[in-house]
A and B are shown apart, each in its own frame.
Chain A
Amino acid sequence: MKNEGEASEQPDNTAFTQQQLPAWQPILSAGIVIPGFLIIGLAFLGIGIGLFLTSQTIQVLEMDYTGVEKDSPCFQCTIQSVQNCTCEVTFSLSALFTGPVFFYYGLSNYFQNFRKYGVSKDYYQLTGDTQYFKSPRDVCFPYSHDSKNNPIVPCGAIANSMFNDTFELYQIINGTKKKVPLDGKGISWWTDFNIKYRNPSSVNGSFASAFDGTVKPINWPKAAYELDLTDPNNNGFLNQDFLVWMRRAALPQFRKLYRRITEGDYAGGLPAGNYSLTVHYNYPVLSFDGRKKLVFSNVSWMGGKNDFLGIAYLVVGSLCVVMSVVMLIVYAKFKFSDDDDA
């Protein structure tokens, strides 16, 4: 392997070749470990208390509106034949729901993380590359062409299955409904909206004609360029709801941000009182035993309500403290016996 000529020379006398590099040789002794555990434990306890308390202050209101039970308001919408079904969910708040309030919709037993589902989109379409409008990538199959073999834009399973229930929130003040303004901006990732997804450039000044020769996804009621009729900038691939939907959830039970309540009288939160939520029920989930729900929540510095982190920190923190105490006792005991031995 090595030639002998090399060996005949005196080896280099460097610290590296002689394996004598100066080295730090840490030893985890009781003197380090016990205080270390104590410090970590106390720090964790501190963080844990902070997290736990923060989590407790977050208000959450969850409502299932799937309509499985007969007496639930949306039951009639689960019947297949009903078109454009609307149902009304009411709830009341006994205290102020501090703002800004975030309005989520949640789905369960819904696998956005299916592998085939996940790859079923054409990134080049979504960056506005009209070349791919004519011939969507194969991964979109079977959602790449309609039955007449027209290309679908945006193609693929994810886009096709976009959540399309819509909600209107009213506060009921003395029997009259007062509409709560819902803010649909800033619900998707900044980078998704500003960099990752691009609309095709308008043809002859008309945004819609960029989509000429293509058809809308099969399940969509409207084409991509008319997703939001009220705001022309919220259309195409840059529609906020679309962007939120395109970011696949990690788990089969998930929630996605629908709207924020930040405007007008409700900037400070939802005051106590009765509310009515009008649901335009379009999205079928019962075929795969799914559930739909609505979530109102406010957030803190740690995000939405999640007791897990706080509890985990408290448990680990106290574990560390206990261990350090145990070790101290063991240490004291064994140190003496060690001395005896010596």
Chain B
Amino acid sequence: MLRRRLNRLCGGDEKRVDSRTIYVGHRPCPDTEAFIPSKFCDNRIVSSKYTVWNFLPKNLFEQFRRIANFYFLIIFLVQVIVDTPTSPVTSGLPLFFVITVTAIKQGYEDCLRHKADNEVNKYLVTVLEDGRSVKKESEKIKVGDVVEVVEDETFPCDLILLQSSREDGTCFVTTASLDGESNHKTHYTVPDTEKDLQALTATIECEQPQPDLYKFVGRMHIYKPEQEPAVRSLGPENLLLKGATLKNTKKIYGVAVYTGMETKMALNYQGKSQKRSAVEKSINAFLLVYLCILISKAVVCTTLKYVWQSKEGQDEPWYNQKTQKEKDTNMYLKMFTDFLSFMVLFNFIIPVSMYVTVEMQKFLGSFFITWDKDFFDPEIQEGALVNTSDLNEELGQVEYVFTDKTGTLTQNNMEFIECCIDGFQYKHRDTWSEVDGFTVTDGPVNKLQQKAGQEKEELFLRALCLCHTVQVKEAGSEEVLTDQVDGIDEMRPQLEEERGFIASSPDEIALVKGAMKYGFTFLGLESKSMKIKNRENNIEEYKLLHVLNFDPVRRRMSVIVQTKSGETLLFCKGADSSIFPRVKPEEVDRIRMHVERNATEGYRTLCVAFKQLSAEEYAVADTGLREARLALQDREEKLIAVYNQVETGMSLIGATAVEDRLQEEAAETMEALQGAGMKVWVLTGDKMETAKSTCYACRLFQRGTELLELTLRTLEDERLKREEKLRELLQEYHRKAVQDAPPVKAGVTRSWSTANQDYGFIIDGATLSIVMNPQHEVDASQYKSLFLQICQNCTAVLCCRMAPLQKAQIVKMVKTSKGSPITLSIGDGANDVSMILEAHVGIGIKGKEGRQAVRNSDYAIPKLKHLKKLLLAHGHLYYVRIAHLVQYFFYKNLCFILPQFLYQFFCGYSQQPLYDAAYLTMYNICFTSMPILAYSLLEQHISIEILLDNATLYREIANNAMLRWRPFLYWTLLGIFQGLLFFFGVRFLFSNPALQDNGQVFGNWSYGTIVFTVLVFTVTLKLALDTRHWTWINHFVIWGSLAFYVFFSFFWGGIIWPFLKQQRLYFVFANMLSSVSAWLVIIILIILSLLPEILLVVLRKPRGPHSRQVYLSLPFPFWILPFYHIHPILCYSP
């Protein structure tokens, strides 16, 4: 909301215009009719929310927007305005405390943000103004200013690179702070700009700010005296982003195009959408129930009050006459204020402290994830990262796991395994000798093999060396590099081996390294010319004409190079499916076998093709590409069209196989997740065969698994159209997997149905898009539901050839399906971000593909194997803890307030509080808050080791088992039972209020104190009974709370407090303790309240094999279950 407002402020009216025009250096241009300096926002970054002036109102407003806070505020106001039984302090104090603490926390955070903002905004930058360099504060930069940035400085705003100190007009940049990719990226100056920036008269026309870091389209008009203005296209390679750092370049000049809140960084800096956990939804539902209880209590009391008062003499006995004012008040108004009074009296049933405790539990609890040393990865020297603590318990509720393949299931550590040239297999052996190059085939594997011709080999290897976007890492200083380039002949071989490559995809590095092993070394790209060293140690130079970038839709990339001899060549590499249709069919047959075999072995395969371009062909392609690049609208589409046009009629020269190793313990982790009842879906952009083999390797598919395939290949049918075939297949699979499958009972039984046939489902991106968007709208829902039902009955689902957006689509589809299951996405790359954001829980892996996934995730872990502990141990425990916390809180407040409600029947519905105000206030804050907080942080009802060893235990808490209506009802009934017991137990005792051996009688405050004492002890001991894991902290807190209660009561009643207007509790507690009867009634009521709990637990026999399996390993060979948190009647409710 804030951002929108800012945008409106900054963008102003020109928001409606599609592009903005920038005058470089604010110099008017000849052919524009008038120089209107348009208003752009200044370069101030405002990440802070508040200022000193608006902090108080704005913060309070934000806080009271929360429904709970608002409710408490209303209660407080009612107490202030209406004459109510309890003083406003009782609810005002806790509310004030909560609000203050939150305000201080938010104020402090905002202070830090202000500081950080100021650091950025006040940073001095050099701006060229009228030929002079002027130092300016960063926030004063205006759009159109020409800014100078020196090495290792960060860019103060988004700049178009005009001039670089490097000769080739490039500069290097790292965007580590933006997307986490630490490699150096090359950016280019706008071609043909003046050397003298003062003389440059130009306008830049570019799109309005948008958050995509990798997209930028613009056009620069350069005006020269007496010449037609020149037009240059601007792309992301010309744009230097605010926040990125200049590297390896002494100095650059750039013109500011986007400033302040309109920079791409600022647009990307936004709070992630709030994910809410299922537990929170349950809390809200319970809250509603309790609100209804509260209101009905108040209504009942109000009604009864007036019924009771209608009897003669009851309304106004002579000893308690009303004031004149009371008599005059309108009856309905009186009723209403009575209703409000009752509301206030019973409002403690919904405690402020629950929200505080839940927040604290989540916040503190999440530290255990960060602290866990099992999550620490020595390789990257990092542990787990918690980006949000709101979802801790959701980790225990996951039903669907969507995992990326590359980098998540596999290591994304590519190794060149073998290649196939012209149909002949070349397997790289470690023993190859440098002299003979890779043609040596002394291994038995290659014994039978013939070799392709020398020419073909070299062409293939050159293709590998040229067709990529790899950079050579500049090792330290530039001198070394120039040495390498200039004195290539003296270069020692060791240096080559150490050569570092940087690329956006590890496959490319593997390929370049692979080519290196076979004798062709890529030396680097210098001013548009690529140098490679061939087997004879000669340097070959190629002029790089065009790079046809890789994109996931085309699934291939190409380069167009010009050899020394003037030939123009196009090299293309890409997925088999995208290359095969573009080459001659007879070539395909020779290679297809290899590709498919490699794919089933789990390797990533790429096909390499080439094409010689005639001068005319090139000229057409060249102009096409240039035109497309200059386009302001639909540039992407136009480019792709040209690409597709160019990449035709190629000839296939070979294929490569790169191995991507499985992550450590990937298979074990997947097995554990499946054992825990989670359905694992693999969503990958990779091809089916590779993905399938990975699935087999991860044991997601097993030998007995019957695979249901729904891919373009299975859709091929002469008789039917694709969609008809799709329908047919869907129905067939549905019959197989859903209808014929034996009806599974919900919950545990599913895991024991191993005798049943397992199904695995495979779908590819293209088919998925037909399923999602069929030609006829009517079919959409039918297809979707068929598809979902099939998938839900399969043990594993593999979706291959997925575009990032499709991944998110799948997640969304499952998320919104019947029963709205909890989904978890795990991935490591930028392409997983969409599904990470979409799923209930997003997990990022701190992998090699940058940090984008980590930044967008809710939790980040170093390795896939950590997922097991994160879900099975942490998730399970967090869920049990918070579920118990929530139920306990409602329970303890129900049996707290019920006696107060019942007391109304005995005090003429006069809203007389049963407990003293101090007890009312302190009950939730001091007496009963700490034990449950300690419990909710430390409880391990089953030890972590057992949880990890028995994945099936995870199923016991599936489907929000502990926060369903039945457990809620159980806790509520328990609360009602105990509340009744407390009240009537003491009521019967007080039928003779002479409880001391001196014959003196007890009054109403003694009554309340006895009830309250029983209450505090029972509620605390109930928690003690539920605690399965007693650390010293639990002991300290539980016994400490009870001791504190006793101590406080003595203290509170032991002194005449000067600020109190009535000392109603004076010596009440001490007097109570001097009465034997009070002791005895307290003891019996506590024991009687806890007895049913104990009985229920003891009389319950463990069900299901898993529980025995677990408990047999415990030292007690008894059938009696320990107090398990899920209460007997509540377990496994379908």
What is the interface of chain A, defined by CB distance below 8 A to chain B?
Answer: 1-2, 4, 6-8, 10-13, 17-19, 21-31, 33, 40, 44, 47, 51, 100, 102, 104, 110-121, 123-124, 137, 141-143, 157, 160-161, 186-189, 191, 195-196, 244, 247-257, 260, 284, 287-289, 297, 299-306, 308-309, 312-313, 316, 319-320, 323, 327, 330-331, 334-335, 338
Contacting residues, chain B, for A30 (C-beta < 8 A)? 1098, 1118-1120
Say yes or no: B1076 contacts A303, CB within 8 Å.
Answer: yes
- What is the chain B residue whose CB lies nearest that of A247? B1003
Say yes or no: B1003 contacts A250, CB within 8 Å.
Answer: yes
Q: Does B1094 contact A (CB under 8 A)?
A: yes
A303 to chain B, nearest CB (A): 4
Say yes or no: B1007 contacts A196, CB within 8 Å.
Answer: no
A219 to chain B, nearest CB (A): 8
A121 to B1063, CA, bound (A): 12
- What is the chain A residue whose CB lies nearest that of B374? A18
- What is the chain A residue whose CB lies nearest that of B903? A113
From A29, A47, A187, contact of B1000 by CB (8 A): A187
A320 to B989, CA, bound (A): 22
> Which segment, of B213-221, B318-326, B467-475, B752-760, faces chain A?
B318-326
Say yes or no: A119 contacts B1030, CB within 8 Å.
Answer: no
B616-637, CB < 8 A from A: none
Say yes or no: B368 contacts A196, CB within 8 Å.
Answer: no
- Listed residue (A8, A115, A123, A260) with the most chain B CB atoms within 10 angstroms of its CB: A115
Say yes or no: A251 contacts B987, CB within 8 Å.
Answer: yes
Contacting residues, chain A, for B1008 (C-beta < 8 A)? 250
A30 to B1098, CA, bound (A): 7
Say yes or no: A255 contacts B1001, CB within 8 Å.
Answer: yes
Question: A13-B373, A123-B1060 known; 19 other A-B pairs, CB under 8 Å?
Answer: A1-B363, A7-B370, A11-B371, A11-B375, A19-B940, A23-B1034, A27-B1114, A28-B1094, A111-B907, A114-B910, A143-B321, A157-B320, A191-B1067, A244-B1001, A249-B1004, A252-B908, A303-B1075, A309-B1081, A334-B1101
Contacting residues, chain B, for A305 (C-beta < 8 A)? 992
Say yes or no: B319 contacts A115, CB within 8 Å.
Answer: no
- What is the chain B residue whose CB lies nearest that of A13? B373
Say yes or no: A112 contacts B1004, CB within 8 Å.
Answer: yes
Say yes or no: B317 contacts A297, CB within 8 Å.
Answer: no
Say yes or no: A29 contacts B1084, CB within 8 Å.
Answer: no
Q: Does B792 contact A (CB under 8 A)?
A: no
Contact A323/B940 with A19-B368, A287-B317 known, Cβ cut-off 8 Å: no
> Which segment, of B137-145, B288-296, B382-390, B767-775, faces chain A?
B382-390
Say yes or no: A29 contacts B313, CB within 8 Å.
Answer: no
Contacting residues, chain B, for A116 (C-beta < 8 A)? 320, 910
A191 to B998, CA, bound (A): 14
**Inter-chain residue pair count (beta carbon < 8 A):** 285
Say yes or no: B372 contacts A11, CB within 8 Å.
Answer: yes
Contacting residues, chain B, for A253 (C-beta < 8 A)? 991
29 contacts between A and B (CB under 8 A): A1-B386, A1-B389, A10-B376, A10-B383, A17-B371, A17-B373, A21-B1032, A22-B1032, A23-B940, A23-B1029, A25-B943, A25-B1029, A40-B1087, A102-B999, A104-B1001, A115-B907, A161-B319, A191-B1066, A196-B1056, A249-B993, A249-B1001, A250-B1002, A251-B993, A299-B994, A303-B994, A303-B999, A316-B1087, A316-B1091, A331-B1120
Say yes or no: A28 contacts B1062, CB within 8 Å.
Answer: no
Contact A19/B1056 with A33-B1098, A111-B907 known, Cβ cut-off 8 Å: no
B303-335, CB < 8 A from A: 312-314, 317-324
Say yes or no: B372 contacts A25, CB within 8 Å.
Answer: no
Say yes or no: A306 contacts B1028, CB within 8 Å.
Answer: no
Say yes or no: A118 contacts B370, CB within 8 Å.
Answer: no
Say yes or no: B1062 contacts A123, CB within 8 Å.
Answer: yes
B434 to chain A, nearest CB (A): 42
Contacting residues, chain A, for B1088 (C-beta < 8 A)? 312, 316
Say yes or no: B318 contacts A10, CB within 8 Å.
Answer: no
Say yes or no: B994 contacts A257, CB within 8 Å.
Answer: yes
A191 to B1005, CA, bound (A): 15
- Listed residue (A17, A31, A189, A300) with the most chain B CB atoms within 10 angstroms of its CB: A189
Q: Give 7 closest A-B pairs by Cβ, nearest first.
A: A161-B319, A304-B994, A250-B1007, A17-B371, A288-B313, A102-B999, A250-B1004
From A113, A196, A304, contact of B912 by CB (8 A): A113
Contacting residues, chain A, for B53 (C-beta < 8 A)? none
Say yes or no: A23 contacts B1098, CB within 8 Å.
Answer: no
Contact A327/B1004 with A10-B381, A313-B1080 known, Cβ cut-off 8 Å: no
Q: Does B1033 contact A (CB under 8 A)?
A: yes
Say yes or no: A29 contacts B1118, CB within 8 Å.
Answer: yes
From B906, B994, B1080, contact of A104 by CB (8 A): B994
Contacting residues, chain A, for B987 (C-beta < 8 A)? 251
Say yes or no: A27 contacts B1122, CB within 8 Å.
Answer: yes
- What is the chain B residue whose CB lies nearest that of A338? B1119
Say yes or no: B381 contacts A8, CB within 8 Å.
Answer: yes
Q: Mark B358-378, 1 if CB is under 8 A from A, else 0.
A: 000001001110111101100
A27 to B1123, CA, bound (A): 7
A116 to B908, CA, bound (A): 11
Q: Does B988 contact A (CB under 8 A)?
A: yes
A36 to B1030, CA, bound (A): 20
Contacting residues, chain B, for A300 (C-beta < 8 A)? 997
Q: Does B795 contact A (CB under 8 A)?
A: no
A316 to B988, CA, bound (A): 15
B730 to chain A, nearest CB (A): 44
A317 to chain B, nearest CB (A): 9
Contacting residues, chain B, for A121 (C-beta < 8 A)? 1062
Say yes or no: B1076 contacts A302, CB within 8 Å.
Answer: yes
A19 to chain B, nearest CB (A): 6
- What is the chain A residue whose CB lies nearest that of B371? A17
- What is the chain A residue whose CB lies nearest that of B1123? A28
Q: Does B505 contact A (CB under 8 A)?
A: no
A243 to chain B, nearest CB (A): 10
- Listed residue (B322, B323, B1006, B1077) with the most chain A CB atoms within 10 angstroms of its CB: B1077
Contact A309/B999 with A11-B370, A111-B908, A116-B320 known, Cβ cut-off 8 Å: no
A247 to B319, CA, bound (A): 15
- What is the chain B residue whose CB lies nearest that of A142? B323
- Listed residue (B318, B989, B1099, B1120) with the most chain A CB atoms within 10 angstroms of its CB: B1120
A29 to B1102, CA, bound (A): 13
Contacting residues, chain B, for A119 (C-beta < 8 A)? 1062
Q: Does B675 contact A (CB under 8 A)?
A: no
Contacting residues, chain B, for A254 (C-beta < 8 A)? 993, 1001
A100 to chain B, nearest CB (A): 8
- What is the chain A residue whose CB lies nearest that of B985? A312
Q: Does B1097 contact A (CB under 8 A)?
A: yes
Contacting residues, chain B, for A191 (C-beta < 8 A)? 1066-1067, 1071
Q: Does B1116 contact A (CB under 8 A)?
A: yes
A303 to B375, CA, bound (A): 63
Contacting residues, chain A, for B1 (C-beta < 8 A)? none
- What is the chain B residue whose CB lies nearest that of A60? B992
A281 to B996, CA, bound (A): 29
Contact A33/B1094 with A1-B386, A304-B995, A308-B989 known, Cβ cut-off 8 Å: yes
Say yes or no: A28 contacts B1120, CB within 8 Å.
Answer: yes
From B995, B1076, B1116, contact of A29 by CB (8 A): B1116
Say yes or no: B1118 contacts A31, CB within 8 Å.
Answer: yes
Say yes or no: A306 contacts B1062, CB within 8 Å.
Answer: no
Say yes or no: A25 contacts B322, CB within 8 Å.
Answer: no
Contacting residues, chain A, for B1030 (C-beta < 8 A)? 23-26
Say yes or no: B1077 contacts A309, CB within 8 Å.
Answer: yes
B1119 to chain A, nearest CB (A): 5
Say yes or no: B368 contacts A17, CB within 8 Å.
Answer: yes
A255 to B994, CA, bound (A): 8
Contacting residues, chain B, for A257 (C-beta < 8 A)? 994, 999-1001
A117 to chain B, nearest CB (A): 4
Say yes or no: B999 contacts A299, CB within 8 Å.
Answer: yes
B74-96, CB < 8 A from A: 85
A330 to B1095, CA, bound (A): 12
From A8, A13, A117, A304, contact of B319 by CB (8 A): A117
